[in-house]
């Protein structure tokens, strides 16, 4: 028996990618809205309440509005906006973080899909805090490189247009005011006392990202080695279908290694790397901002909520 799925915001980048991941599945029925009624609140409310599961691929205000439309207790919402990611009444849609996260996703009617940068950041920092490698008041800094697909339709059009500005050919740093929209969940989910510093860069390629967190071990009360940190990550993500902790390289191997940000483009997986040495450890998380960082994560949550193999339609 198939379940009914409605995507509110199905013409956006995330909505379209979710639809792609449903191709060939016979266990779901997609409810589609007509183009002329795509922004009609009455029609959207009707389709939401017809569904078993609704994906919200909308700006924050529109997402909150859509949740208010629900008058059917059986409708389960998967929200890809930032509106509900730090709401304790919502499940945070990153099942690999802990068994508790996975169980809450399975049983909840309200799941907030993590942000793409936050997925990479939390994949690193949550285990560090959870396993006592860093304290919750540690001064965490992160930087990241991302493809332009996460910047929205207008930015995509500029990057792919004939009149692309010269500067768009270079990595461009942004969110300089330290008020990036993902920062609240980057602080709340690992349980950090202070907001981390974050330096994101959008680059001239379509999709894929690397989020990096450097650790100066002299700042730790209990100093750890790079090998011990690697062992911690390997144990934390042991048995994961979507997250792979990559082998620890020797310092000699690292000298000739380049970490590309677009390697996992189109793939619903994440890779964790431990680089550096025992004094300076560099932790990196590589993923597709449209995959494990958005639509792939949303579909993975749906599969868990349905009680089926979480990799269905993804691997």
- The active-site residue out of 57, 116, 284, 301 is 116
For residues 186-218, b (16+ Cβ closer than 10 Å) or e, as one string? bbbbbebeeebebbbbbbebbbbbbbbbebebe
301 is catalytic: no
Does an H or E element contain 104, and which? helix 99-107
DSSP β-ladder status, 141-147 and 197-203: parallel
Place of tokens 């993902």: 182
**Are the beta carbons of 29 and 6 closer than 8 angstroms?**
no
On the CB side of 310, CA atoms within 13 Å amount to 23
Does an H or E element contain 31, and which? strand 28-31
Closest of 33, 27, 25 to residue 50, by C-alpha: 33
Q: How far is CA 144 from the centre of its chain?
A: 13
On the CB side of 60, CA atoms within 13 Å amount to 8
**Are the beta carbons of 167 and 202 closer than 8 angstroms?**
no
Active site residues: 116
């Amino acid at each position: 028996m198939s379940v009914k799925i409605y995507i509110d915001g199905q013409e956006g980048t995330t909505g379209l990618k979710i639809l792609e991941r449903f191709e060939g599945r016979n266990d779901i029925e997609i409810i589609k809205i007509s183009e002329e009624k795509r922004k009609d609140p009455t029609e959207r409310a009707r389709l939401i309440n017809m569904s078993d599961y609704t994906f919200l691929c909308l700006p924050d205000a529109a997402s909150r509005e859509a949740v208010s439309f629900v008058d059917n207790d059986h409708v389960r919402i998967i929200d890809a906006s930032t509106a509900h990611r730090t709401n304790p009444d919502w499940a945070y849609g990153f099942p690999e973080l802990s068994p508790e996260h996975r169980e809450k996703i399975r049983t909840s009617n309200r799941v907030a899909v993590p942000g793409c940068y936050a997925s990479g950041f939390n994949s690193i920092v949550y285990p560090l805090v959870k396993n006592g490698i860093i304290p919750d008041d540690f001064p965490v800094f992160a930087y990241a490189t991302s493809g332009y697909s996460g910047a929205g339709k207008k930015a995509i059009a500029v990057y792919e247009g004939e009149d692309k500005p010269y500067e768009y050919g270079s990595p461009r740093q942004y969110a300089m005011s330290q008020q990036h929209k993902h920062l609240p969940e980057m602080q709340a989910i690992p349980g950090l006392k202070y907001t981390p510093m974050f330096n994101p860069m959008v680059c001239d390629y379509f999709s894929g990202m690397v989020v990096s967190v450097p650790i100066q071990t002299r700042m730790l009360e209990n100093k750890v080695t790079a090998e011990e940190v690697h062992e911690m990550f390997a144990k934390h993500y042991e048995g994961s279908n979507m997250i792979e902790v990559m082998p620890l390289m020797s310092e000699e191997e690292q000298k000739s290694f380049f970490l590309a940000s677009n390697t996992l483009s189109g793939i619903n997986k994440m890779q964790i790397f431990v680089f550096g040495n025992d004094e300076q450890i560099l932790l990196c998380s590589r993923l597709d901002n449209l995959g494990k960082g958005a639509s792939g994560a949303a579909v993975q949550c749906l599969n868990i909520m349905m009680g089926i193999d979480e990799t269905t339609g993804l691997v």
